């Protein structure tokens, strides 16, 4: 008996992998969309990490520090001019939300951003912090906060 091209499909259907040919076709058609979603996610992560990496380097820190959990928040606080107990408040549940808003506000100021961009950094830090890394803003230092 000659083997046909549909034999693998018939094996899948007989073993209960999918319940019908239509379902099998739908699964095949979904593969490009799933792959496209993963490429988009990968692009967003590259944009985000690359922007934060450049932001850290603009402030004179090693770019690799943006990848290390918890230490990246501490480094961002130091870039903004925070020290000691003010950094500890970022890790206390409840009040950390208020202090994260202050941190994002101070980060926008040390990079010379005005009030409109500050609101963006406070509302959408995952978008505006990498934008600060990719654009031409300069780190003005902690003296800019006074």
pLDDT of residue 79: 94
Q: Quote the tokens at residue 50.
A: 């690359």
pTM: 0.74
10-residue averages of pLDDT along the chain (146 residues): 59 61 76 88 93 94 92 93 92 93 91 88 90 91 66
pLDDT of residue 8: 63
pLDDT of residue 2: 54
Beta-carbon contacts of 96 under 8 Å, excluding residues fewer than 6 positions away, are 89, 90
pLDDT of residue 24: 73
For the chain, give every domain's residue range.
7-145
Round to whole Å and give the CA distance between 137 and 35. 35
- Note whether 113 and 102 are within 8 A (CB): no
Radius of gyration for the chain, computed over Cα atoms and rounded to the nearest angstrom: 24
Round to whole Å and give the CA distance between 59 and 133. 10
Q: For residue 32, how far is the Cα from the chain centroid?
A: 24
Q: 70 by DSSP, 3-state: which? A: coil
């Amino acid at each position: 008996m000659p083997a046909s091209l549909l034999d693998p499909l018939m094996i899948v259907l007989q073993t209960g992998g999918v319940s019908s040919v239509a379902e099998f076709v739908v699964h095949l058609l979904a593969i490009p969309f799933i792959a496209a979603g993963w490429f988009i996610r990968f692009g967003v992560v590259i944009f985000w990490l690359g922007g934060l990496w450049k932001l850290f380097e603009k402030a004179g820190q090693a770019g690799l520090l943006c990848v290390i959990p918890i230490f990246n928040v501490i480094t961002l606080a130091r870039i903004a001019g925070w020290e000691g107990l003010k950094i500890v408040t970022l890790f206390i549940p409840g009040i950390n939300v208020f202090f994260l808003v202050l941190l994002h506000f101070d980060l926008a100021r040390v990079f010379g951003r005005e009030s409109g961009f500050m609101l963006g950094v406070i509302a959408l830090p995952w978008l505006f912090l990498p934008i600060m890394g990719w654009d031409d803003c300069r780190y003005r230092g902690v003296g800019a906060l006074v």
